[in-house]
């Protein structure tokens, strides 16, 4: 099987032809319900990612143990033979919840100091439709799906009439429904099996961040940027204010989530509301830290106020020494 390249590509593109069977890795018989091997505890499956365990190929597709649920996961409601038949919608709904939970647990276990906003950013990278849809295409779920012809999921000639966004969402929904069917068809081990599979499947998506975490690149300094800025130019009577700014519709390039913007303003040293910098991020706290960093990048301006602070402290020390001598 060729090296994976699904980290951040758009699954809404044309379906990738199924890989020849000869190139696929030999399935590992981990889904045999009659296996006598002791089950791996779920909390172990939720253990953190490590750079050394990031796979280079896709893991085998786990088997849904209930054929009826597997069929339902791949069937659009409009393609049911009768209204009593199951379709993908309910399984997609519960599968979406499982994906959010599993992604959150793995991110929480791996990135111990990450701010909640950045955790949400990583999770969105894993569960967005473009990522999940690419998995659907790789495993051939689009070929097996029983959807109306306008979705073109089976590669029907001249069949795709829905928008690219609608098709991408359908591919993501199919994957979510398959995860729901996988868990629901195996009440005892389904959640663990889904977690082990997704952990391997998702690892390359966050590979850079996982390696950064292990190398210490993600470690937050004991002195955050706001504290550093305050040490440089803060003083009695001087206020550094952090204020929300309008986002103007700007969004994160990866998750498409709207960003928070925070401005850093100085009150003191002869200034009243002078904007020193601003920062944008998925969380307000991180945006405020970026604003402080941006302010400190203006070394000429910060040096000016730092010198005023130095002169002020020197004058205050001299005055205190004078008073002490007089007493």
Q: Which CATH number does the domain housing residue 94 bear?
A: 1.10.1520.10
* Judgement on whether residues 160 and 233 belong to the same structural domain of the protein: no
Q: Which residue has the higher pLDDT, 161 or 198?
A: 198
Please report the pLDDT score of residue 154 as a whole number.
Answer: 55
- Does residue 35 fall inside a structural domain? yes
Cα separation, 40 vs 193, whole angstroms: 9
| Residue 11 forms part of a structural domain | no
Q: What is the pLDDT of residues 186-224, one digit of tens each?
A: 999 999 999 999 999 999 999 999 998 988 766 555 568
Distance (Å, whole) CA 152 – CA 196: 31
186, 193 Cβ separation under 8 angstroms: yes
Q: What is the pLDDT of residues 247-305, one digit of tens each?
A: 888 887 766 778 899 999 999 999 999 999 999 988 888 899 999 999 999 999 999 99
Three-state DSSP at 202 gives: helix
Query: Do 94 and 165 share a domain, yes or no?
Result: yes
pLDDT, the chain, mean: 83
Each residue of 63-99: pLDDT tens digit? 999 999 999 999 887 767 766 678 889 999 999 999 9
In tens, the pLDDT along 33-65 reads: 444 555 556 666 789 999 998 999 999 999 999
Residue 95: inside a domain, yes or no? yes
Indicate whether 268 and 170 sit together in one domain: no
Quick check: 19 pLDDT over 80? Answer: no
243 part of a folded domain = yes
**Whole-number pLDDT of residue 16:** 35
**Burial classification of residue 18, based on how many CB atoms lie within 10 Å of its CB (0-12 exposed, 13-18 middle, 19 or more buried):** middle
96 and 194 co-located in one domain: yes
Q: 254 lies in a domain?
A: yes
Question: Is residue 4 one of the residues assigned to a domain?
Answer: no
Instruction: Tell me which DSSP letter residue 8 carries.
Output: S
Per-residue model confidence (pLDDT) at position 247: 87
Query: For 107, phi and psi rounded to 5 degrees?
Result: -65, -40
Q: Percent of the chain at pLDDT above 90?
A: 54
pTM, full prediction:
0.62
pLDDT at position 153 is: 62
Q: What is the DSSP letter of 75?
A: B
Higher pLDDT, 249 or 185: 185
Confidence of residue 22 (pLDDT cuts 50, 70, 90): very low
Distance CA 234, CA 227 (A): 9
CB 192 within 8 A of CB 45: yes
Q: Are residues 209 and 306 in the same domain?
A: no
Same domain flag for 129 and 251? no
Specify the length of the chain in residues.
Answer: 327
| The pLDDT of residue 252 | 77
CB-based contacts of 76: which residues, under 8 Å, 6+ apart? 87, 88, 145, 146, 147, 148, 151
Looking at residue 38, its pLDDT comes to: 57
Nearest one of 90, 68, 88 to 146, comparing CA atoms: 88
Whether the CB-CB separation of 295 and 276 falls below 8 Å is answered with yes
Residues 200, 254 within the same domain:
no
Same domain, 157 and 259: no
Helix (H, G, I), strand (E, B) or coil at 34: coil
Domain that residue 236 falls in: 225-326
Report yes or no on 186 lying in a domain: yes
Inform me whether the pLDDT recorded for 24 exceeds 60.
Answer: no
Of the CA atoms within 13 Å of residue 267, those in its CB half-sphere come to 8
Give the span between the Cα atoms of 205 and 9, in whole angstroms: 10
Q: Number of folded domains in the chain?
A: 2
Quickly count helices (H) and strands (E) in the chain.
Answer: 12, 3
């Amino acid at each position: 099987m060729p090296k994976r390249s699904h980290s951040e590509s758009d699954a809404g593109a044309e379906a990738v032809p199924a890989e020849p069977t000869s190139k696929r890795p030999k399935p590992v018989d981990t889904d045999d319900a009659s296996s006598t091997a002791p089950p791996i505890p779920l909390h172990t499956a939720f253990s953190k990612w490590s750079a050394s365990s990031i796979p280079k190929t896709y893991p085998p597709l786990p088997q849904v143990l209930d054929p009826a649920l597997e069929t339902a996961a791949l069937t659009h409601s409009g393609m049911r033979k009768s209204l009593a038949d199951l379709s993908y919608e309910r399984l997609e709904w519960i599968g979406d919840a499982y994906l959010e939970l599993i992604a959150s647990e793995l991110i929480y276990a791996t990135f111990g100091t990450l701010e909640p906003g950045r955790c949400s950013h990583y999770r969105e990278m894993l569960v967005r439709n473009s990522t999940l849809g690419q998995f659907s295409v790789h495993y051939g779920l689009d070929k097996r799906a029983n959807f109306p012809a306008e979705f073109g999921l089976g590669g029907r000639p001249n069949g795709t009439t829905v928008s690219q966004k609608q098709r991408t969402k359908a591919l993501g929904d199919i994957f979510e429904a398959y995860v729901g069917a996988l868990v629901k068809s195996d009440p005892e081990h389904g959640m663990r099996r889904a977690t082990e599979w997704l952990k391997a499947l998702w690892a390359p998506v966050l590979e850079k961040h996982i390696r950064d975490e292990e190398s210490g690149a993600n470690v937050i300094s004991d002195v955050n940027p706001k504290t550093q800025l305050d040490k440089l130019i803060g003083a009695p009577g001087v206020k550094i204010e952090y204020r929300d700014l309008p986002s103007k519709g700007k969004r994160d390039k990866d998750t498409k989530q709207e960003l928070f913007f925070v401005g850093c303003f100085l009150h003191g040293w002869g200034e009243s509301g002078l904007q020193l910098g601003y920062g944008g991020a998925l969380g307000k706290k991180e945006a405020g830290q970026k604003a402080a960093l941006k302010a400190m990048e203006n070394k000429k301006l910060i040096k000016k106020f730092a010198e005023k602070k130095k002169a002020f402290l020197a004058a205050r020390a001299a005055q205190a020494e004078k008073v002490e001598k007089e007493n």
